[in-house]
Copies of this chain bind each other. A is one copy, B any other.
Amino acid sequence: MNETNPHQTTSPELSRLAVHTITTKPWSFAEAADQYSRQGIGGISVWVEAIDGIQPTTARQIVDDAGLKVPALVRGGFFCAGDQRQRDGRIDHNLRLLETAAELGAEMLVLVVGATPGVALETQRGWVREGIEQILPQASSLNVRLAIEPLHPMYAADKSCINRITEARQICEAIDDPVLGVAVDVYHVWWDPDLAIEIELIGAQNRIFGFHICDWRVPTRDMLNDRALMGEGCIDIRSIRAMVEAAGFDGWNEVEIFSEEHWRGDQKQFLKRIVESYCDC
CB-nearest residue of chain B relative to A190? B156
Among A157-193, those with CB < 8 Å from B are 157-158, 163-164, 166-167, 190-193
Nearest CB of B to A119, in Å? 9
Inter-chain contact B117/A234, CB cutoff 8 Å: yes
Partner of A191, one of B121, B190, B192: B121
Nearest CB of B to A276, in Å? 20
Chain B residues contacting A223 (CB-CB under 8 Å) are 154, 220, 223
CB-nearest residue of chain B relative to A158? B218
Inter-chain contact A122/B193, CB cutoff 8 Å: yes
Nearest CB of B to A128, in Å? 13
Inter-chain contact A193/B219, CB cutoff 8 Å: no
Chain B residues contacting A157 (CB-CB under 8 Å) are 191, 216, 218-220, 233-234
- Asked if A53 is at the interface of the complex by the 8 Å CB criterion, the answer is no
Chain A, interface size: which category?
20 to 34
What is the bound-complex CA distance between A188 and B80, given in angstroms? 23
Chain B residues contacting A158 (CB-CB under 8 Å) are 218-219, 234
What is the bound-complex CA distance between A157 and B154, given in angstroms? 13
- Asked if A12 is at the interface of the complex by the 8 Å CB criterion, the answer is no
CB-nearest residue of chain B relative to A224? B219
Chain B residues contacting A166 (CB-CB under 8 Å) are 193
Nearest CB of B to A141, in Å? 32
Nearest CB of B to A60, in Å? 35
Nearest CB of B to A55, in Å? 34
Chain B residues contacting A279 (CB-CB under 8 Å) are none
Chain B residues contacting A154 (CB-CB under 8 Å) are 152-154, 220, 223
Nearest CB of B to A142, in Å? 31
- Asked if A120 is at the interface of the complex by the 8 Å CB criterion, the answer is yes
CB-nearest residue of chain B relative to A234? B117
Q: When each residue 183-210 of chain A gets 1 if its CB lies under 8 Å from chain B and 0 otherwise, what string results?
A: 0000000111100000000000000000
Nearest CB of B to A168, in Å? 11
CB-nearest residue of chain B relative to A188? B153
Nearest CB of B to A125, in Å? 8
Inter-chain contact A236/B120, CB cutoff 8 Å: yes
Chain B residues contacting A164 (CB-CB under 8 Å) are 193
Partner of A193, one of B118, B121, B190, B233: B121
What are 10 inter-chain pairs, A to B, with CB distance below 8 A? Answer: A117-B233, A120-B236, A120-B239, A121-B191, A121-B193, A154-B220, A157-B191, A157-B220, A158-B218, A223-B223
Residues of A within 8 A of B (CB): 117-118, 120-122, 152-154, 156-158, 163-164, 166-167, 190-193, 216, 218-220, 223, 233-234, 236, 239
